[in-house]
Amino acid sequence: MASPPPFSLSTDPFASTHCILPPTISKIFGTTVKLGKIEHTHFRKVTPLRRDQDFALKASKRSMGSPELTRQLNNNKFETLSGAEDGRDIFNDLKDRFLSFKSKYTENNEQFEKLAKAQAPKFMVIACGDSRVCPSTILGFQPGDAFMIRNVANLVPPFENGPTETNAALEFAVNTLLVENILVIGHSCCGGIRALMSMKDDENASFLKSWVVAGKNARKKAEAAASNLSFDEQCTHCEKESINISLSNLLTYPWIEEKVAKEELSVHGGYYNFVDCSFEKWTLDYRGTKLEERGIIATKNKVYWS
């Protein structure tokens, strides 16, 4: 698999990062993978982030068990809040979007009536809070499909670190909702990972630093494996390594490890690269993973969607 082209990041490790697309990339030809078949798609032209983009999204009943829902805007621009006209109340845009959603709600009233009584999601998703990384947009999750928690750098702290919002959500999803899959999604140009890689041991603690330090083992692995590469490339390596650290940390929770061992629960990693619009997915191989070697996991069923 060819490595994605190099990119530049913001010089401030604690600011919202952005990627500068390589000038050589003007078109992306890829595939959209849907259960049972591959559908070819063509992205006309990659424009800088936060600009309007051509948009086509299909969500199929077969993909997540949701009703058939297809949204395709031909020759129209993907509307973003950042693209709203100057002087216009940004909440007017949100109002329009809500009313658009309400029309779909009305059309699928029976489905939403069922969801109002109970939820039975198949997925627990842990993703980054980055505004460019929305699991529902990327993977087409519909209401009722996935119980989600988003935090800085999509990290899962180990059990012994004590209570956090993330493991509270995990406990509820696994023990009450009985989800069958946990999916940890990392992404390119992650500001939280860049902050982790930029930290100095003698720095004063902050909320951000106190949180991302949970990924310190991923940082060590990235620095060791990519010591001869640039800092930006080390960050990319750490973005992926941190996902595996989180998968390993999931097994430190007794009620997760027990269900994984009984094959009642599967644990997956995913990496979304929005520079070239690709997605990698893999599954933790519990039988091949040595629990005593924290952070060293075996994987299976790895696929690459582009």
Binding-site residue set:
128, 130, 187, 190
| Annotated binding-site positions for Zn(2+) | 128, 130, 187, 190
CA dihedral angle for residue 42, residue 44, residue 46, residue 49, rounded to 10 degrees: -90
> Of 13, 8, 12, nearest to 212 (Cα)?
13
> Residues 135, 3, 226, CA angle at the centre, nearest 5°?
95
Q: What are the tokens at 121?
A: 């999601």
The SS3 of residue 150 is strand
Q: What are the tokens at 38?
A: 């591959």
Question: Which residues, 6+ apart, have CB-to-CB distance to 117 below 8 Å?
Answer: none
- How many helices (H) and strands (E) the chain has is answered by 10, 10
CA 220, distance to chain mean position in Å, is 22
For residue 116, give the amino acid letter.
Answer: A
H or E element, residue 242: helix 231-250
CB 287 within 8 A of CB 300: no
H or E element, residue 299: strand 299-305
CB 56 within 8 A of CB 75: no
| β-bridge mates for residue 40, sequence order | 31
Place of tokens 């591959």: 38
Place of tokens 């959603």: 101
